[in-house]
Amino acid sequence: MSIDLLEGTPAAPPRDNGELVFSEPWQARAFGLAADLVEGDHFTWDEFREHLIEAIAAAGTPVDDGEAPEPWDYYRCWLTALECAVGDRGLLGGEAVADRAATYASRPAGHDH
Amino acid sequence: MHDDHGHGHHHGEHDHGRHAASSPEVRVEALEDLLVERGLADRERIDATIQRFEHDIGPMIGARLVAEAWADAGLRRRLLTDADAVVADMDIRGAEIEHIEVKANEPGVHNVVVCTLCSCYPWALLGLPPNWYKSPEYRARVVREPRVVLAEMGLDLEADTELRVWDSSSETRFLVLPERPAGTEGWSVERLAELVTRDSMIGVARVTDPGGR
């Protein structure tokens, strides 16, 4: 995540956060996307919160499928909740999202557009 | 921001192709692009929201509110009985989606806030929550053994202090009104606000007095 140039200067707001709001760019995108869909009335924060609670509860439950459990990560739960909310409201089909993700994942390294 | 692209999208920040389809980077990108292509989301509005939460919304808004309440007994009373009205009067953006209750610390009573199920938090007053607030450990333990958790975070309470733990929900977000430190009589609201930390408004710290005690 980029560091604001004003940080540490008198012009910086006294946030006293002690940490960046988002530690990776995708976290900011997932947050902003959810907020935008709420703003556009595609779902409500309450609906989103229900999905988030489920995702967080599921992340805390060990699964015995032979795979190493992923470390707890709040924004991964947020992203799962976002995907559930989008699917629940039929905004996008799961297949369309999976196809697009597969396409992006197969881009050659360093390819930008 | 060091983003050379006006829209703040992640092009150029990633080595595309090095993330699996199941990685969060790729999943978010696929979701965002599809939603934007279908006109359901707007890239510039997303950028603006992120910008706002990274730079414009944060604990300084809550700190100002606390300082005003310290300086004005009438405002303090209103804040404790109808925080939504006070927040609306102060034209704090984003507060319309949240019902906020303010809980005052006083001698013998200490308040602390948690969201046991997820991460509900008074965004409009404090910005987005810190990582520890979202952690499973804090969410579970501050309810079970609040005194121990607070001590671990550096806040030792007197044995006879009553500890009240407030569990946030989508209906109600809580803000703690910390005690005004001694030695600040006659201070301006601006100067007072500089003393008020984020953690003191969640209830895991005190506002330390200017003498450093």
Residue A67, in any domain of the structure: yes
Active site residues of B: 115, 118-120
Computed over its alpha carbons, how large is the radius of gyration of chain B?
Answer: 20
Residue A72, in any domain of the structure: yes
When pLDDT is cut at 50, 70 and 90, the band that residue A107 belongs to is: confident
Residue A11, in any domain of the structure: no
- What's the CA gap between B97 and B172, in Å, rounded? 10
Residue A14, in any domain of the structure: no
When pLDDT is cut at 50, 70 and 90, the band that residue B3 belongs to is: very low
Range ranked top by mean pLDDT from A49-63, B126-140, B151-165: B151-165
B45 touches A112 (CB < 8 A): no
Can you give the pLDDT at residue A27? 94
Least confidently predicted of B7-11, B20-24, B136-140, B155-159: B7-11
Q: Looking at the predicted structure, is the pLDDT value of residue B41 above 90?
A: yes
- Above 0.85 for ipTM, yes or no? no
When pLDDT is cut at 50, 70 and 90, the band that residue B27 belongs to is: very high
Can you give the pLDDT at residue B7? 43
- What's the CA gap between B160 and B89, in Å, rounded? 37
For residue A91, give the 3-state DSSP assignment: coil
Residue A98 to chain B, least CA–CA distance (Å): 8
Tell whether A47 lies on the interface with B, counting CB pairs under 8 A: no
Number of domains in chain A: 1
User: What is the domain extent for residue A44?
Assistant: 25-105
Can you give the pLDDT at residue B101? 96
Domains in chain B: ranges and CATH: 1-56 (no CATH), 57-202 (3.90.330.10)
Q: Looking at the predicted structure, is the pLDDT value of residue A68 above 70?
A: no
Q: Which residue of A has its CA nearest to B37?
A: A92
